[in-house]
Amino acid sequence: MDEKMKRLIEGLNSDMNAELNTIIRYIRHASVLKGMAGHEVRELLKKEVMDEVKHATYLADKIVALGGVPKVQLELPAEVFDWQEVLKDALKYELEAIAGYRERAQQAEEVGDIGLKATLEMFAEDETRHKEEIERLLG
C-alpha cells in the first residue's frame, strides 16, 4: 500500500473516531437537559446523532474496503449540564469535523477516489448544517 493511501486510511480512522465520540457525546448531553430551552437542544442533538451514525458506519466500511482496519479509540464526554455549555461543547467538535472532512476530501482526490471525495464533501455539508443549527440555538 502506498504512503498516500496509508495516510488517507489513518485520516478516515480519525474521522470515524470523531463520529463515534460525537454519538456518545450527543446521547449523554441530550439525556441531562431539562426545561424548555433544554428540550429544544435535546431534540436537535437526537436528530443530529442519526446523521453521525450514518457517517461512522460509512467510514468504518470504507476503511475496510480500502484495505485498512477500523481502530476504535473512545473518549469520555465533558460533564456539562447547562444547555448553553452543551451547545458550546457540540459546536467545537462540529467545527473540527468540517475541517477534517475538507482535508480528507482533498486526500481522497489525491489517490483518485472521486466517489469518496464526493461523499466526504457531502459529510462536510451535513456538519456545516449541524454547526449552523447549533449556532441558531446559541443565538
Residues that bind Fe ion (CB under 5 A): 19, 52, 55, 94, 127, 130
Residue closer to Fe ion (CB basis): 83 or 93: 93
Query: Which of 98, 94, 106 shows the shortest CA–CA distance to 7?
Result: 106
DSSP character at residue 78: P
CB of residue 5 vs Fe ion: minimum separation in angstroms? Answer: 23
Query: Which of 87, 96, 102 shows the shortest CA–CA distance to 25?
Result: 87
**Residue 52: CA atoms inside 13 Å, Cβ hemisphere, count?**
27
CB of residue 2 vs Fe ion: minimum separation in angstroms? Answer: 28
CB of residue 1 vs Fe ion: minimum separation in angstroms? Answer: 26
| CB contact set of 40 (below 8 Å; sequence gap of 6+) | 83, 137
Residue closer to Fe ion (CB basis): 40 or 51: 51
CB of residue 107 vs Fe ion: minimum separation in angstroms? Answer: 17
Residue closer to Fe ion (CB basis): 94 or 113: 94
Residue closer to Fe ion (CB basis): 19 or 113: 19
Rounded to a whole number of angstroms, the distance between the first and last alpha carbons of the chain is 48
Query: Which of 130, 123, 77 shows the shortest CA–CA distance to 103?
Result: 123
